Structure 1
Amino acid sequence: MTQARTDRRAHERGFTLIETIVALVLMGLLLSALASITAQWLPSWNRGLDRIQRSELIGIALERMGADLAAAEFVAPNRDTRRPLFDGSELSVTFVRTSVGPNAGPGLDVVRLGESRDRGEFVTVRTQTRFTPLADGLSLTEQVHLGSPVVLLRAPYRLSFAYAGPDRIWKGAWKGADKLPAMIRLTVRDAASQRVLSVSTIAPVHVQIPGDCTKPDGNCSDKRNSEGATDQGKT
């Protein structure tokens, strides 16, 4: 038994030194090729993943801003004013909406969506404060002190607004009108290339006129509405 096992092992052959070296060289070439392919492919993968993540974050920010704008209320600054508290420009919009949040009680908030400076770069920020009647003769910025900033959009992206009434004619500003805009367009651009992103959207405003216009005795005439449209056209 021992002799047969010895004879069988004598006929078995292993790798020679040359075969081992050749195998190691081939393995090294294979690993080098895989590393080269990975080095070329991985940056493209990371860039694609980064674009997807940014698009998702921008989409979430636009969805939140769209919900805010859709909830804008027709609220006059005080009893002596019939026009709503709404100030819309190309880079910011200020409006009144129902208070929302985990710690918010019943009431109204003044909300501003617009650009601000953070560490030398432009960011889109949401700020708010509790609504209280405003005095005549003073500007909105003098009376409303906004706080609780929340950054919604960072560089290299910038956000701009446009406004349209029922006529669907877009304007770069909406100030001093008798009604709220029917739609607000949110356009996101790459600051470097000025390319408009496909995630840009339009937010419909659910309320454009005061609540008393729906009452039978409401003082809301076609003349006042047409005058508001005329004033808006001059803005």
Structure 2
Amino acid sequence: MVRRARRSDAGFTLFEALVGVALMGLILAALGAVTAQWLPGWNRGLLRVQRNEQLAVALDRLSADLAAAEYVAARRNDRTPLFEGDDGAVIFVRPALGPNTAPGLEFVRVSERSDATGTMLVRMRAPFVLLPIGDLALDRIPFADPVVLLRAPYRLTFSYRAETGGWKSSWRNQGRLPSGVRFSISDDRDDHGVVVASATRLHADMMAPLSEPPSQDASPPAGAASGAK
């Protein structure tokens, strides 16, 4: 009786251990097969969510910028608002944005740039100043603070809504702001065309008067009091 009790307390036999290892191997193999089936789909779903978030952030930033575009003439003796764009870039004036930015206006340029990683869409800004008359004046604006909105393989194309209701690929010297701007995002890896399309409406359609501040050395107008008696 004592010997039987000791045998029952001795633990697993070698055969039982081998059976347990075999069962564990079968379970792990089944889990591996299931994981191999759903993991690629999970990765694709995760990448799709990340892509949608990236595109949504870029479109929100562009919509907020362009919706705030001001009807402001940037050149002296000129009432034409500064808003110039083509299918790959746009320059306009909007109220200054940022926690450390002084109140006022600023130039904003959104355009494509290239580096070692590929093509990207970059937003840059510069403090607003009156420009000299000339087509090359925009090239001398000291744009800074680059922010990447979109990276390859995605490409963004602008188009501009005219008074007639049609869309133009270029907006230059029109004498007014477009009524809307449309963004079309395509994927260079996909031949199906546009991936995402969105549009924003520009609300500024009246001239905002702009004049240079008077000089501190300017003499007082005629009839003004010269001092307290």
After TM superposition, the score normalised by the length of structure 1 is 0.80
Mapped to 2, the partners of 1:197 and 1:154 lie a distance apart of 14
Q: CA deviation at 1:38?
A: 1.2
State how 1:163-182 maps to structure 2 within 5 Å.
Answer: 163-182=160-179
Distance 1:134 1:11, change over 3 A: closer
State how 1:18-97 maps to structure 2 within 5 Å.
Answer: 18-97=15-94
Q: CA deviation at 1:179?
A: 1.1
Mapped to 2, the partners of 1:113 and 1:15 lie a distance apart of 72
1:105 pairs with 2:105: no
Higher share in helix: 1
Aligned pairs, number:
207
1:129 pairs with 2:137: no
Q: CA RMSD in A?
A: 2.2
**Structure 1 portions without partners, runs of 5+:** 213-235
Mapped to 2, the partners of 1:140 and 1:8 lie a distance apart of 102
Distance 1:142 1:27, change over 3 A: closer
Moved more, 44-53 or 125-134: 44-53
Moved more, 48-57 or 18-27: 18-27
Contact 1:96 1:111 in 2 (8 A): yes
Give per-residue Cα distances to partners, 1:40-87, cap 9 Å, x unaligned. 322321221021012112101110111000000011122411211111
**Structure 2 portions without partners, runs of 5+:** 210-229
Distance 1:48 1:140, change over 3 A: farther
Q: CA deviation at 1:9?
A: 3.1
Give the counterpart of 2:194 among 177, 193, 196. 196
Amino acid at match of 1:50: L
Mapped to 1, the partners of 2:7 and 2:119 lie a distance apart of 79
Q: CA deviation at 1:192?
A: 2.0
Q: CA deviation at 1:12?
A: 4.8
Partner-residue secondary structure (3-state), 1:53: helix
Mapped to 2, the partners of 1:144 and 1:11 lie a distance apart of 91
Mapped to 1, the partners of 2:8 and 2:168 lie a distance apart of 89
Who is 2:218 aligned against? none
After TM superposition, the score normalised by the length of structure 2 is 0.82
Question: What percentage of aligned pairs have identical amino acids?
Answer: 43
Q: CA deviation at 1:166?
A: 3.9
Contact 1:180 1:209 in 2 (8 A): no
Contact 1:134 1:143 in 2 (8 A): no
Who is 2:222 aligned against? none
Partner-residue secondary structure (3-state), 1:128: strand
